[in-house]
Amino acid sequence: MLNYLVLSTSGNPDSNSRRMAQIAFDWLKKAKLNCEWLDISKLDLPLCDADACYNHPAAQNLTAAVENADGIIVATPVYNYDVAAAAKNMVELTGSAWEDKVVGFLCAAGGMGSYMSVMSFANSLMLDFRCLIIPRFVYATGNSFDGDKLTDTKVAKRIEQVIAELVRVTIGVRS
């Protein structure tokens, strides 16, 4: 059986990227697929120091979850035209656990100007760990939400498309 992992990388308790991650996780559960949810803001991860950080229990648990996954959704906020630093730290802590994973992205930002900001992060995963990146990702601004609710039907449809494509590609790669 294939395993899926949904990772929320926001430290903001009122996070739109986390809301999108929850929609993705709910979709996978409704489809009766084996999936795990991790919110890295709840993990007390250390900053990567290229030394003792790898032995930290939270880093080891995160590494095991990434290793166990066949397909991964990374939900991340965009700050200053880049993915959240916590997302990069997460990859630095888990390193080679990402090798050969199928990865999709759900991004939330304050404005439309940084819609391609996930690309350097995606390129790093592709080049460093040979991840297969789903060539469709979701980028949403605060205008897509009303409080805790995603109200933009186009964004909701794109989340479903990304998840469905992640599942389709993961099945194809692992067959």
Give the range of the structural domain holding residue 100, as residue numbers without chain letter.
3-174
Assess contact for 138 and 106: CB atoms under 8 A.
yes
- Count the domains in the chain: 1
Give yes or no for residue 57 having a pLDDT over 80.
yes
- pTM of the predicted model as reported, rounded to 2 decimal places: 0.95
CA distance 66 to 74: 11
Nearest CA to 108 out of 147, 160, 144, 154 is that of 144
Tell me, what CATH number does 71's domain have? 3.40.50.360
Please, which pLDDT band fits residue 112 given cuts at 50, 70 and 90?
confident
Which tens digit of pLDDT belongs to each residue from 119-173? 999 999 999 999 999 999 999 999 999 999 999 999 999 999 999 999 999 999 8
Kind and range of the H or E run holding 168: helix 153-174
